[in-house]
């Protein structure tokens, strides 16, 4: 049979289109059908490069008997977490009431109103290792719904109440430098001084945490460098093309989980750039441009962990092959979704690295991705949406993180190109109204209250970072105020759990400390431009006099009065600039 997934704009959903399970995509239709039949919903969430999602699909969702049981007793919904991150977050938060082993595939059973009453992750086809079989789970859930409806509703009510309570933010002010240093010290206590990085197995790059540690207030740059050096020399990095895998299953960075995500690699560009590992930066940039870049200019979401080798699916076999053997193998598939916020991360990272290392191709690639996202990832009404595939926009609404990450990437692109239009477009993106997922809203389901970083910055932190960038460019003090307003309610949680709030702490550190902006006004480039790009500053701009005037005319006060003389640089602290200098040696590299 072919279910309803074949015409969706998600490669992950399309891969399940021929399952015997009567899948519905995320939408109101599934809830209406569950109410009509008075049966629970089985909500299955995953993504296209998730190994265990593939395994459960082969073992259970492709099995005729299992599918028949699902179709008889449930309304089945398949969700791509990358297409609907807010929906994933909502059900992940609900699932935490039932299991501590959260991850994907995520399996959630809900009432016809969408309230979760049982959840888990991967379930095997036969019971093993303390896990029940998936069909036994289906039977138990169906029997509970039929015979103990009252208990099921009580469980669902309790979860909903807990989520509403968790959504409430803290009341508090912004942290000072000592508080931020204490948070960094808490993180540093978790450092693995043998293998590098933080925590045990499985071990993730934790790029948002590393970027906070690299801020001068945090004073953790050495630990971040040790982590990066360890990862770069380990199995976590593909030594053939320089891209990093998702995570390592062992604490010594061995036995990686082999999918390669745009977000991990884009963020690690910034970590490597700050650590002075230009070789690592070049390797990752080569992976982004050589593997993930799409013909139309955007960047794909990820490359799969599995590939076909000798007629069989192999997890990691392609990446474990030597260079000569790999050349004869078909590479793993790429999930071609162009996700708005993820591309924002790539745009910003490539723009910053390209400007710093003199790689014009990287800056051009960032500009092409920006043009693609701003043109294609829009609804018929012109609003920015979450994603597109093959030049066709999907219907999922953009998240707060999408808006913040795209805007921040555009600000960096403006600095890398000297084109004020990118900064103006970034402000327009920041002004986009945020919309809740309409299906969650229609069912009265609460969005998740967890505003911590996951595999990318959280929505509040991403937007705060973009407003910080706008303020540093001189777009007005209201942007600083908006950044503070986004951070302040979460500061208490961030200081208590700093490993989970790297981006918010990094933004808070930038707001707490003195800012530095360096503007080199030169039409010739050369040593003055090189010296500017080498400094440690919050903003580095190398512009011609005409470009400086264009920034000032667009409302970016940092550039006011800086177009009169060609061949000078301005070193500014908290918007107070020293006398302009034509001597590159006058620009101290350190703050």
Q: Which tens digits make up the pLDDT trace of 298-321?
A: 999 999 999 999 999 999 999 999
Tokens of 504: 């918010």
Pairing state of beta strands 516-521 and 539-543?
parallel
Residue with tokens 């009252």: 150
Task: Tell me the pLDDT of the chain averaged across its residues.
Answer: 93
Q: Is the pLDDT of residue 1 over 60?
A: no
8 A C-beta contact, residue 37 and residue 73: no
CA quadruple 526, 510, 367, 453: dihedral sign: positive
Tell me how long the chain is. Answer: 591
State the pLDDT at residue 97. Answer: 82
Q: Which tens digits make up the pLDDT trace of 505-537?
A: 999 999 998 899 999 999 998 999 999 999 999
In whole angstroms, what is the distance from residue 224 CA to residue 273 CA? 12
CA quadruple 61, 62, 65, 71: dihedral sign: positive
Q: Which tens digits make up the pLDDT trace of 128-164?
A: 877 889 999 999 999 999 988 888 888 877 777 666 6
Note the Cα 223 to chain centre separation in Å. 23
User: Residue 47 — φ and ψ, nearest 5°?
Assistant: -155, 165
Q: What percent of the chain has pLDDT over 90?
A: 81
495 conformational bin, left if phi > 0, alpha if psi -120 to 50, beta if neither: alpha
In whole angstroms, what is the distance from residue 246 CA to residue 254 CA? 12
In whole angstroms, what is the distance from residue 563 CA to residue 547 CA? 8
In whole angstroms, what is the distance from residue 334 CA to residue 464 CA? 31
State the pLDDT at residue 257. Answer: 92
Give the start-end residues of each E strand in 353-502: 387-389, 392-393
In whole angstroms, what is the distance from residue 563 CA to residue 523 CA? 11
Residue whose C-alpha is closest to residue 534's, from 278, 313, 242: 278
Element (H, E) at 468: helix 459-472
State the pLDDT at residue 167. Answer: 54
In whole angstroms, what is the distance from residue 9 CA to residue 145 CA? 33
Q: What does the pLDDT average to over 23-51?
A: 94
Residue whose C-alpha is closest to residue 409's, from 262, 588, 194: 262
CA dihedral 258, 264, 270, 273 (to 10 degrees): 0
CA dihedral 154, 155, 160, 166 (to 10 degrees): 130
Residue whose C-alpha is closest to residue 198's, from 506, 189, 280: 189
Q: Which tens digits make up the pLDDT trace of 405-463?
A: 999 999 999 999 999 999 999 999 999 999 888 998 888 886 665 688 988 999 999 99
CA quadruple 146, 148, 153, 159: dihedral sign: negative
Tokens of 119: 């959840």
In whole angstroms, what is the distance from residue 172 CA to residue 491 CA? 7
C-alpha distance from residue 464 to each of 108, 199, 563, 588 (Å): 32, 27, 30, 28
Note the Cα 204 to chain centre separation in Å. 14
Alpha-carbon Rg for the chain, nearest whole angstrom, is 25
Q: Is the pLDDT of residue 84 over 90?
A: yes
Q: Which tens digits make up the pLDDT trace of 165-224?
A: 555 555 568 999 999 999 999 999 999 999 999 988 999 999 999 999 999 999 999 999
C-alpha distance from residue 265 to each of 150, 230, 484 (Å): 48, 16, 28
8 A C-beta contact, residue 350 and residue 365: yes
Crossing angle of helices 360-376 and 340-357, in 10° steps, is: 160
State the pLDDT at residue 537. Answer: 95
Q: Which tens digits make up the pLDDT trace of 102-132?
A: 889 999 999 999 988 889 999 999 988 778 8
Q: Which tens digits make up the pLDDT trace of 342-393?
A: 999 999 999 999 999 999 999 999 999 999 999 999 999 999 999 999 999 9
C-alpha distance from residue 200 to each of 19, 96, 246, 249, 271 (Å): 37, 21, 15, 9, 21
C-alpha distance from residue 178 to each of 14, 104, 181, 573 (Å): 51, 38, 5, 21
Burial of 472 (0-12, 13-18, 19+ CB in 10 A): buried
C-alpha distance from residue 271 to each of 158, 210, 213, 281, 324 (Å): 41, 7, 10, 9, 31
Q: What does the pLDDT average to over 541-549?
A: 97
Burial of 189 (0-12, 13-18, 19+ CB in 10 A): exposed
In whole angstroms, what is the distance from residue 585 CA to residue 591 CA? 14
Three-class DSSP category at 446: coil
8 A C-beta contact, residue 1 and residue 380: no
Peptide bond before 238: cis, by omega within 30 degrees of 0?
no
State the pLDDT at residue 450. Answer: 62
Q: What percent of the chain has pLDDT over 70?
A: 97
Three-class DSSP category at 82: coil
């Amino acid at each position: 049979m072919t279910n309803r997934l074949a015409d969706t704009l998600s490669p992950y959903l399309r891969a399940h289109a021929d399952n015997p399970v009567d899948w519905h995509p995320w939408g109101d239709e599934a809830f209406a059908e569950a109410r009509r039949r008075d049966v629970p919903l089985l909500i299955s969430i995953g993504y296209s490069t998730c190994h265990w999602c593939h395994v459960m699909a082969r073992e259970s969702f492709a099995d005729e008997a299992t599918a028949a049981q699902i179709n008889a007793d449930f309304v089945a919904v398949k969700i791509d977490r990358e297409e609907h991150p807010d929906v994933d977050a909502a059900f992940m938060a609900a699932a935490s009431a039932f299991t501590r082993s959260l991850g994907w595939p995520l399996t959630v059973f809900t009432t016809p109103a969408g309230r979760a009453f049982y959840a888990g992750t991967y379930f095997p086809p036969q019971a093993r290792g303390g896990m029940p079989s998936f069909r036994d789970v289906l039977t138990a859930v169906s029997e509970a719904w039929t015979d103990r409806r009252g208990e099921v509703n009580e469980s669902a009510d309790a979860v909903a109440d807990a989520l509403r309570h968790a959504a409430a933010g803290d009341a508090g002010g912004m942290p000072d430098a000592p508080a931020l240093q204490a948070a960094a010290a808490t993180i540093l206590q978790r450092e693995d001084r043998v293998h590098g990085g933080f925590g045990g197995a499985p071990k993730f790059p934790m790029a948002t945490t590393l970027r906070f540690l690299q801020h001068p207030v945090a004073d953790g740059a050495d630990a971040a460098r040790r982590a990066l050096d360890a990862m770069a020399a380990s199995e976590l990095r593909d030594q053939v093309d320089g891209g990093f895998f998702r995570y390592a299953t062992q604490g010594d960075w061995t036995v990686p989980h082999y999918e390669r995500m745009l977000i991990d690699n884009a963020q690690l560009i910034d970590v490597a750039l700050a650590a002075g590992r230009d070789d690592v930066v070049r390797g990752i940039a080569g992976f982004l441009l050589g593997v993930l870049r799409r013909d139309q200019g955007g960047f794909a979401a990820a490359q799969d962990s599995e590939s076909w080798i000798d007629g069989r699916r192999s997890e990691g076999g392609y990446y474990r092959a030597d260079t000569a053997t790999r050349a004869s193998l078909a590479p793993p598939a790429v999930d071609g979704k162009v996700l708005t916020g993820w591309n924002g991360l790539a745009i910003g990272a490539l723009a910053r690295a390209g400007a710093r290392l003199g790689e014009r191709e990287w800056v051009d690639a960032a500009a092409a991705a920006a043009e693609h996202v701003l043109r294609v990832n829009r609804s018929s009404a012109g609003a920015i949406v979450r994603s597109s595939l093959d030049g066709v926009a999907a219907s999922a609404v953009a998240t707060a993180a999408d808006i913040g990450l795209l805007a921040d990437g555009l600000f960096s692109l403006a600095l890398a190109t000297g084109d004020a239009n990118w900064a103006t477009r970034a402000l327009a993106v920041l002004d986009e109204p945020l919309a809740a997922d309409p299906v969650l809203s229609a069912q009265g389901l609460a969005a998740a209250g967890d505003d911590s970083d996951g595999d990318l910055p959280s929505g509040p932190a991403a937007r705060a970072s973009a407003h910080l960038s706008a303020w540093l460019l001189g777009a007005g003090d209201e942007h600083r105020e908006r950044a503070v307003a986004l951070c302040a309610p979460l500061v208490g949680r961030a200081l208590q759990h700093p490993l989970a709030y790297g981006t918010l702490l990094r933004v808070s550190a930038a707001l707490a400390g003195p800012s530095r902006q360096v503007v080199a006004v030169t039409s010739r480039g050369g040593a003055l431009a090189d010296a500017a790009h080498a400094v440690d500053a919050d903003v580095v701009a190398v512009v011609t006099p005409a470009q400086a005037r264009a920034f000032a005319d667009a409302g970016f006060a940092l550039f006011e009065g800086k177009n009169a003389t060609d061949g000078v640089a301005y070193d500014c602290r908290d918007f107070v600039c020293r006398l302009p200098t034509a001597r590159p040696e006058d620009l101290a590299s350190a703050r």
